[in-house]
């Protein structure tokens, strides 16, 4: 969504919102130690909450809030530069850059205009057929390109048809945008949260097609049927107006031949290249998802060579740098939650509330992410939840949890009119086209109903399929261990599982029993970034009242995904 200074918020309305933002940030920051958080953990939580409220209260200033929040993390030593770089998910950002260039080229080549013409020229058109095809086209376009591009072109189609039939386009726009948000969960290309979840969860394009895409289709079909019933009166009026126009020998819209071949070829080649990334990586013995992330860049590079006169335009105008920079900073701030081990506290809290099985965690994660995404950018909640799911995956099968997060973030955008960027774009076009406005409760009435129905289908299907899903679970890879000692609170047999972090000259293990390990990792081995497992013999340490026992480290293993 572009920023427009002419729509600047009045000062009187800014002051109370700013006061609320500061109050919440200070409450979280200074209240953290009272619930067992360290100073760095409290700071990380306060900054993240500030970005959430900053996005909710000051949409046009969200990037400024992210800049200032990052500075606070650096100055408070809650985040260092190497962690910032590693947490920024630059691979996701570059994937989105490549896809935005490709979408710009598709627009130039007339691909989207061709799609519109296909729908307009359908034989035996009626209201139900128009709604069904429009909903399916919205969802599939969102899968193939992105939700914003999809809704822009489908909205253009709807305006064109409704103007000819002298109908109010509002119901048809709402149907299209609801279908777009559902469709954006079908592949990792439909929504930024898809590619983010794919990279964090080590999911392939094939994983999305096997699990996510069929569930999206089932939700879409049922939701479209519900919308056909909900807007049945409008559909009757559509049929009456269409019959009257055709009886006078008038077409619904002029049919124009559009040269679509090159655009269709570009899209097909891009999708095929992305879809075959796993096979290419296996053949070339490359790191998992490495080809997935560079394929859009390869296709974009070829496009810019073939259309060199438009290359600068694609980079400067088609790439939404404002949003991408916000995403990058948001990912970095969310990475601080992992760096300071807030994710472990959240995972522990979620386990206490929702248990440790997919049967309870799936509906819990879906509900929380859906409600949150209804009011704040869904990328924020996905970025915050991802490290938590990585922690839960130590003991729980992770695939159902990732899908629950994906569907909650995408479907939750349908609850309110500010739930997704596609909603905001569609409503802006609707108001600009004919001055039509949609009230909050007018949207909520249909949006909440659709979310409950589509979410129920997704959650029910996830719970039914969870036992059959492959266990992307974790295994441990043995590392070299130094002569370290772990202070522990009580003697036990087994091992400790936690996360290592550098603190000065010491390495800390944060986990079930916590403690400090000195010289645990041998020189040159490097510090593993994920969870680790340490095991060894237990000795009494009477001098330490807080941790009266020591574990002599004999084995250190790093958590990895199979």
For the stretch 119-149, pLDDT in tens is 777 778 888 999 999 999 999 999 988 888 8
Query: What are the DSSP calls for 149-173, one per residue?
Result: HHHHHHHHHHHHHHHHHT---HHHH
Give the C-alpha separation, 429 to 415, whole Å: 19
State the Cα–Cα distance between residues 172 and 459, nearest whole angstrom.
27
Whether pLDDT at 514 is above 50:
no
Q: For the chain, give the number of residues.
A: 562
- pLDDT category at 523 given cuts 50, 70, 90 is very low
**Domain spans, the chain:** 1-78, 93-319, 474-561
**pLDDT tens for each residue of 242-276:** 888 878 877 666 666 667 788 888 888 888 888 88
Per-residue pLDDT for 448 more than 80?
yes
**Does residue 2 carry a pLDDT above 50?**
no
Radius of gyration (C-alpha) of the chain in whole angstroms: 26
* Helix (H), strand (E) at residue 422: helix 421-434
The more confident residue out of 546 and 346 is 346
Residues 395 and 471: beta-carbon distance below 8 Å: no
Distance in angstroms (rounded) separating the CA atoms of residues 510 and 347: 13
How many angstroms separate the Cα of 252 from the Cα of each of 120, 167, 247, 440? 7, 12, 11, 32
Of 4-8, 197-201, 507-511, minimum mean pLDDT range: 4-8
Q: What six digits make up the tokens of 131?
A: 């709604």
**SS3 label, residue 474:** strand
Helix (H) or strand (E) holding 364: helix 358-373
* Res 164: pLDDT: 84
Cβ-contact 299, 7 below 8 angstroms: no
List, in order, residues 6 or more apart from 531 with CB less than 8 Å away: 391, 394, 474, 497, 498, 499, 511, 558, 559
Task: Tell me the C-alpha distance between 332 and 339, whole Å.
Answer: 10
User: What is the pLDDT averaged over residues 34-59?
Assistant: 81
Output the pLDDT for position 276: 86
Can you tell me the mean pLDDT for 498-519?
Answer: 51
Average pLDDT of the chain, as a whole number: 80
Q: Give pLDDT, residue 485.
A: 60
Q: What is the spatial distance between Cα 323 and Cα 300, in angstroms, rounded to a whole number?
A: 19
When pLDDT is averaged across residues 92-108 and rounded to a whole number, the result is: 87
Cα 411 to chain center, whole Å? 11
Contact 344, 84 (CB under 8 A): no
Find all residues with CB under 8 Å of 311, minimum gap 6, and list them: 304, 305
In sequence order, the β-bridge partners of residue 488 are 549
Q: Is 216 left (phi over 0), alpha (psi -120 to 50) or beta?
A: alpha
Query: Can you state the percent helix, strand and coil of the chain, rounding each to 5?
Result: 65, 10, 25
In angstroms, rounded to a whole number, what is the distance separating the alpha carbons of residues 326 and 247? 53
Give the model's pLDDT for residue 208: 93
- H helical segments located in 466-518: none
| Whole-prediction pTM | 0.75
Local confidence band at 52 (pLDDT 50, 70, 90 cut-offs): confident
pLDDT tens-digit readout, 277-294: 888 888 888 887 788 888
Q: Cα separation of 421 and 345, whole Å? A: 31
pLDDT tens, position by position, 150-173: 888 888 889 888 888 889 999 999
Contact between 97 and 324 under an 8 Å Cβ cutoff? The reply is yes
């Amino acid at each position: 969504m572009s920023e427009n200074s002419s729509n600047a918020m009045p000062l009187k309305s800014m002051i109370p919102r700013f006061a609320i933002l500061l109050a919440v940030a200070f409450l979280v920051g200074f209240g953290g130690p009272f619930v067992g958080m360290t100073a760095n953990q409290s700071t990380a939580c306060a900054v993240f909450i500030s970005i959430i409220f900053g996005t909710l209260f000051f949409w046009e200033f969200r990037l400024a809030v992210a800049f200032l929040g990052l500075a606070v993390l650096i100055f408070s030593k809650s985040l260092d530069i190497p962690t910032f770089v590693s947490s920024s998910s630059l691979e996701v950002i570059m994937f989105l850059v490549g896809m935005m260039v490709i979408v710009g080229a598709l627009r130039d080549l007339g691909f989207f205009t061709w799609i519109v013409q296909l729908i307009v020229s359908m034989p035996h058109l009626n209201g139900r057929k128009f709604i069904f095809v429009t909903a399916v086209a919205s969802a599939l376009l969102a899968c193939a390109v992105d939700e914003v591009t999809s809704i822009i072109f489908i909205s253009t189609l709807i305006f064109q048809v409704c103007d000819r039939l002298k109908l109010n386009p509002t119901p048809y726009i709402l149907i299209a945008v609801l279908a777009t948000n559902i469709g954006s969960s079908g592949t990792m290309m439909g929504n930024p949260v898809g590619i983010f979840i794919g990279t964090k969860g080590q999911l392939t394009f094939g994983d999305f097609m096997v699990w996510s895409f069929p569930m999206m289709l089932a939700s879409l079909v049922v939701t479209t049927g519900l919308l056909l019933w909900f807007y049945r009166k409008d559909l009757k009026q559509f049929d009456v107006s269409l019959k009257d126009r055709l009886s006078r020998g008038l077409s619904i819209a002029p049919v124009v031949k559009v040269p679509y071949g090159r655009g269709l070829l570009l899209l097909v080649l891009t999708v095929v290249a992305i879809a075959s990334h796993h096979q290419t990586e296996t053949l070339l013995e490359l790191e998992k998802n490495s080809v997935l992330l560079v394929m859009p860049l390869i296709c974009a590079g070829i496009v810019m060579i073939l259309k060199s006169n438009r290359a600068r335009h694609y980079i400067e105008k088609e790439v939404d740098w404002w949003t991408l920079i916000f995403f990058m900073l948001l990912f970095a701030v969310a990475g601080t939650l992992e760096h300071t081990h807030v994710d472990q506290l959240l995972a522990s809290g979620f386990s206490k509330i929702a248990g440790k099985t997919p049967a309870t965690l799936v509906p819990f994660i879906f509900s929380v992410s859906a409600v949150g995404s209804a009011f704040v950018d869904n990328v924020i909640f996905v970025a915050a939840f991802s490290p938590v799911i990585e922690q839960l995956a130590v003991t729980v099968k992770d695939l159902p949890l990732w899908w629950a997060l994906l569907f909650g973030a995408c479907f939750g955008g349908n609850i309110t009119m500010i739930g997704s960027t596609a909603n905001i774009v569609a409503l802006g076009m609707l108001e600009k086209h004919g001055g039509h406005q949609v009230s909050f409760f007018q949207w909520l009435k249909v949006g909440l109903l659709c979310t409950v129905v589509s979410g129920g289908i997704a959650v029910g299907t996830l719970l039914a399929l969870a036992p059959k899903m492959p266990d992307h679970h974790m295994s441990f890879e043995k590392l070299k261990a130094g002569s370290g000692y772990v202070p522990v609170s009580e003697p036990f047999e087994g091992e400790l599982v936690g996360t290592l972090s550098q603190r000065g000259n010491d390495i800390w293990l944060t986990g079930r029993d916590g403690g400090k390990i000195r010289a645990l990792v041998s020189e040159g081995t490097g510090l593993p970034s994920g969870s680790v497992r340490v095991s060894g013999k237990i000795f009494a340490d009477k001098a330490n009242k807080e941790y009266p026992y020591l574990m002599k480290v004999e084995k250190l293993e790093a958590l990895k995904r199979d």
